[in-house]
Amino acid sequence: MLITDDFLPVPVPESLSATYLVPMAGLPKVSAKTAVAALTGRLAEPVHGLARQMLESPLMSVDTRPIADFPELPPDLLTAFGATEEQLARLAAATHLVVVQAEYRPGWPPAHEWAARAVAAAVAESVDSDVVDVFGLQFLDPATALRSLPDEQGRIRLVDWVLVPYSSDTEGLWFTTKGLRRFGLLELQTQGVPDHLTRAWGAVMTGAARRLLRDWTDGLTGEEVPAFVQLPVLATVTGHDIAVAYGNPEQHGATAPVLLRLELDPATDPEADSFLSLRPPAGHRGPDGRYYAAACATLFSGIQPDVRYARSADAMSRAVATARAALGDARARFVAGRLPAESQLVVKYGLPGDDGPEYVWAGVTSWETAERIVGVSASDANTDPAVRIGAPVVVDATEVVDWAILDATGVIEGGWTQAVLDSGEPPTP
C-alpha cells in the first residue's frame, strides 16, 4: 500500500449492516413481499428491484418480535432527533416490532441501506405506522422514508442520510457528522468553531461529507474490498458540493473552493468511535476559528446578513426587540413547566438565502442551555431542503426573532412579527 503525505489511508470494514424497526399494535397485515410489491410504479429502479432481490436472499431478514424482547428506545434522544408526540405514542402502544436487517459489502450503491429502508417503509405504510432508523435514532414516516431513496437518475440528498449535530464547550462548537458510517466511512468532526457559524459550518460539514464520500466510494469500485482507501489529505469543498448535498445542484454559486486538512483521530477507548478531523491547512496562522470564519465567508459570499421584511422596518424592528426582550422569560417558563396546559412554545428564526433570510417556525422540544434550542420544524423551508415539517432542527438562540405560545385556538401569547406581517403593526406586549 502506497502511503504519501498527500493521502491518508482510512480502514475499510469488511461488511456493513442496516437495521430499521416498524412498531405496530398486533401482527403485520401483509407480508413484506406483498408490501414491497405494492410500491410498484412508486419506487424508482433499481431500488425497487434491489429490495425484492434482497428479500429473497440471505442478505436480508424480516422478523416480527414482541416489543418486550427489545431494550427500550430512548424517548429523549428520539425527541431530540425529531420524534413527534404522536410517533412516541404509537411506539408506546406497540406490542410488536418488525425488524428489517440487511448486510452488504462497502461500496456504491449502499444496497443494505436502500433495500432495508425501502422494505421497512413498505411495511410501515401497510399498517399506517412509522419507520425507526436505528442508526440515526430517527422516526421517519413512510412517505419521508420513500422520498429519501434514489430517484430515477440514482440521485439522493445526503442530508436525508447524514446529520450534523453539534455541542458547545469552552473552545467553541464541536461539530460531528452522524451517518457516514452507513457507508463504511469514519464520521467527520471539527472542533473550535465560532458560535456565530452554527448554521453555516453545518452546511460546510455536509458539503465536505459529500466530497469525501465520493472519494471514498471511488476507492471501493474494485471486485475485492480493499483494506484501506486513500483519501486526499487536503479536501476541497465548493458551493457545488454543498448544493448537491442538499439536493439543489442548480442553486450553487460560482464560489471559490475551500481547502480543509484531513486528520485521523483514532479512539483511545475500544468502545468509542474514531473520527476524521477537518482542520485548516498546514501553514495557517492564527486560531482555527478564524480560518473557519473565512471559509464560510468564501462559500457563502452571496448571503447578506441584513434582515428583510415585507412591512415597515420600524414596526418590525420594534416587534423583534419586544420578542427578544421576553425570550428569556419564555425559556424560564418552558423549562419550569409553567406554560399553559395543552400549549406549545414555538420560535421563529432565519435561514440564509440569496435574497435575504427566510424566516421559519419551529416547535421547541428541549431548551437545556440558553443559547441552544432543540426542536422540530413547523414548516418546509424554500432555502434549506433539510428543513421540512417534523424534521429535527437546532436553533441558535441569537437567531430567534420571535416566539409564540399556541394552543388549539391559535396564538395565545407572542407572535409580534407575525402581527406586523398581518396588520402592519405589532400587538401590545
Q: Is 233 exposed, middle or buried (0-12, 13-18, 19+ CB in 10 A)?
A: middle
Tell me, yes or no, if the pTM score tops 0.75. Answer: no
Q: Give the model confidence (pLDDT) of 389-418 as tens digits.
A: 777 888 888 888 899 898 766 678 998 887
Q: Are residues 199 and 250 in the same domain?
A: yes
**209: helix, coil or strand?**
helix
Whether 214 and 330 share a structural domain:
no
Residues 288 and 170 placed together within one structural domain of the fold: yes
Predicted confidence at residue 426, as pLDDT, reads 37
Domains: count for the chain: 3
Q: Does residue 47 form part of some domain?
A: yes
One domain for residues 199 and 115: no
For the stretch 150-206, pLDDT in tens is 988 888 999 999 999 888 877 889 999 999 999 999 999 999 998 888 888 998 999
Q: What are the residues facing 261 on neighbouring strands?
A: 234, 279
Q: Do 215 and 123 lie in a common domain? A: no
User: With 80 as the cut, is the pLDDT of residue 24 above it?
Assistant: yes
Do 256 and 164 share a domain, yes or no? yes
Backbone angles phi, psi at 360, to 5 degrees: -130, 160
Last residue of some domain: 97, 116, 148? Answer: 148
**DSSP labels for 159-208?**
GGT-B--EEEETTEEEEE-BSGGGGTPPEEEEEEE-GGGHHHHHHHHHHH
Range of the domain at 205: 159-300
Residue 309 has pLDDT above 80, yes or no: no
Task: Calculate the alpha carbon distances from 175 to 216, 246, 291, 294, 336 in Å.
Answer: 21, 18, 15, 17, 29
Cα separation, 218 vs 221, whole angstroms: 6
Q: Is residue 4 part of a domain?
A: no
Residue 153, domain member (yes or no): no
- Whether 308 shows a pLDDT value over 50: the answer reads no
DSSP code at position 229: E
Residue 331 placed within a domain: yes
- Domain-located, residue 100: yes
Q: Can you read off the three cell numbers belonging to residue 232?
A: 486526499
Q: Considering only 167-176, 319-328, 356-365, which range has the smallest mean pLDDT?
A: 356-365
Measured between alpha carbons, how far apart are the two ends of the chain, in Å?
A: 68
Q: Is residue 309 part of a domain?
A: no
What local confidence, expressed as pLDDT, does residue 355 receive?
Answer: 60
Choosing from 120, 148, 176, the residue where a domain stops is: 148
Instruction: Identify the domain boundary among 278, 300, 322.
Output: 300
What's the grid cell of residue 338?
Answer: 409553567
Integer Cα distance of 423 and 75 in angstroms: 41
Q: Which amino acid is located at 406 in the chain?
A: L
Structure confidence at residue 140 as a pLDDT band (50, 70, 90): very high
Shared domain for 361 and 257, answered yes or no, is no
Q: Are residues 292 and 411 in the same domain?
A: no
Asked if residue 137 and residue 28 are part of one domain, the reply reads yes
Q: With 50 as the cut, is the pLDDT of residue 424 above it? A: no
Residue 255 lies in a domain: yes
Whether 287 and 351 map to the same domain: the answer is no
pLDDT value, residue 351: 84
51-92 per-position pLDDT tens digit: 999 999 999 999 999 999 998 888 888 888 888 899 999 999
Neighbours of 49 (CB within 10 A): 12
Residues 166 and 214 in one domain: yes
Q: What is the pLDDT of residues 367-388, one digit of tens each?
A: 998 888 998 887 778 777 778 7
Residue 356 confidence (pLDDT): 63
pLDDT at 195: 85
pLDDT tens digits, 35-58: 999 999 889 888 999 999 999 999
8, part of any domain? no
Comparison of pLDDT for 403 and 319, the residue scoring more? 403
Which segment of 274-283, 324-333, 338-347 scores lowest on mean pLDDT? 338-347
Q: For the segment 192-241, what is each residue's pLDDT rounded down to a tens digit?
A: 998 888 888 998 999 999 999 999 999 999 889 999 999 999 998 888 88
Q: What pLDDT is attached to residue 321?
A: 82
In a shared domain, residues 233 and 282: yes
Q: Using one digit for the tens of pLDDT, what is the confidence trace for 247-305?
A: 876 555 456 788 999 999 988 877 778 899 999 998 888 889 989 988 888 887 643 33
